[in-house]
Chains A and B, each alone.
Chain A
């Protein structure tokens, strides 16, 4: 399962969201070998139809956009 966090460089919320997701993965003992990647490329964001950042996709599907999901919400998506 590949997790991508979308947000251009300079977007502080986006970087902090990546860290938050990594924390959740650690708490889940990372059984599924999850990896989080930060996407700063505008073209890739556009191709996913993302207008508001931060956004998160899991296995290619956009799950959150334009807001900071809570740890519980992230956990639900990851289990």
Chain B
């Protein structure tokens, strides 16, 4: 790929050698590659998304059997917009229209954890095996989490809202849709780009300077999985910033399950997310939500470490 040539050229132009060269090379190459993939995917999906209206999905989910409904809700979580600020109104819309509580929760859990752009970037950066594990793991945590929270009777801790109706029409011409996709892509890239640069920077430092045996010695045990989840919660960043860090950690010998657990907990559990959820849930439900997701992520991490 041309990105490799660009980064090689810059590294040699700077006259760097050894560890510094490896770090700078990683930084430039991965920043270019991730930005390029993001641009394509966000534009493409942004366009397709203009055809998916949350109102239609809500109607679709209302009378589905349990498995199909939960699976549908988690897939919808994948293609839903990036910011959890925009998933909460959808969650409320689901609840208001009588979509089962568990399915609405599954949507809410999956949405920040897996998104379509992350899938493509992960695939480009880390290969299909890890990407598949990530998707299947995320969907499983989302579905089981939503299902369990319902079975345990947590629905009563969701705040109730009156959901109204409006007859507002939505745009329909191709030009309109393209314009929407472009505006959205510009917006998303602008907000994600700093995370990518910083994330790749941290990845580059790990790649160039952290000795391999430091990671293989301390971070390969089973206990490292819950530790990765605990470390991931206060880290609040976009998943795009985590992927390059995880890439270099895996390169240094961090087990795949531990890596994925870290990535998921950074994306799915964060203090700002809880603050947002506080507006629609009581604290009992938020605590149960956080606990079940953490346990789910840890289980997935340990299982993947065992499998790979």
Contacts and interface: CB of A to CB of B under 8 A. Distances in A.
Q: Do A and B bind each other?
A: yes
Contact of B83 (A11, A42, A67): A11
B92 A45 contact: yes
Residue of B84, B85, B92, B191 most packed against chain A (CB within 10 A)? B85
A49 B276 CA distance: 19
A79 to B, nearest CB: 19
B170 A65 contact: yes
Nearest to A46: B161
Contacts of A68: 180, 183-184
Interface string A33-66: 0000000001101111111110100000111111
Given A46-B96, A67-B171, A8 B164 contact: no
B168 A53 contact: no
A10 B89 contact: no
A8 B180 contact: no
Contacts of B64: none
A61 to B, nearest CB: 8
A31 interface: no
A27 interface: no
Contact of A43 (B90, B161, B276): B161
B168 A51 contact: no
Interface residues of A, number: 29
Interface residues of B, number: 35
B53 to A, nearest CB: 8
B191 A51 contact: no
A10 B272 contact: yes
B197 to A, nearest CB: 18
A72 to B, nearest CB: 11
A9 B276 CA distance: 9
Contacts of B88: 8, 42
B54 A52 contact: yes
Nearest to B187: A13
Contact of A53 (B89, B162, B163, B180): B89
B165 interface: yes
A47 B89 contact: no
Contacts of B272: 10
A17 B97 CA distance: 28
A29 interface: no
26 contacts: A8-B86, A10-B84, A11-B83, A12-B83, A13-B184, A42-B88, A42-B89, A42-B92, A42-B161, A43-B162, A45-B89, A46-B96, A46-B164, A48-B166, A49-B165, A50-B89, A51-B89, A51-B90, A51-B93, A53-B86, A65-B170, A66-B53, A66-B54, A67-B180, A68-B180, A68-B184
Given A51-B92, A68-B180, 18 more contacts: A8-B279, A10-B83, A10-B272, A11-B86, A12-B191, A13-B184, A42-B279, A43-B161, A47-B162, A47-B164, A48-B164, A51-B55, A51-B93, A53-B85, A62-B168, A65-B168, A66-B170, A68-B184
Interface of B: 50, 53-55, 58, 83-86, 88-90, 92-93, 96, 161-166, 168, 170-171, 179-180, 183-184, 187, 190-191, 272, 276, 279-280
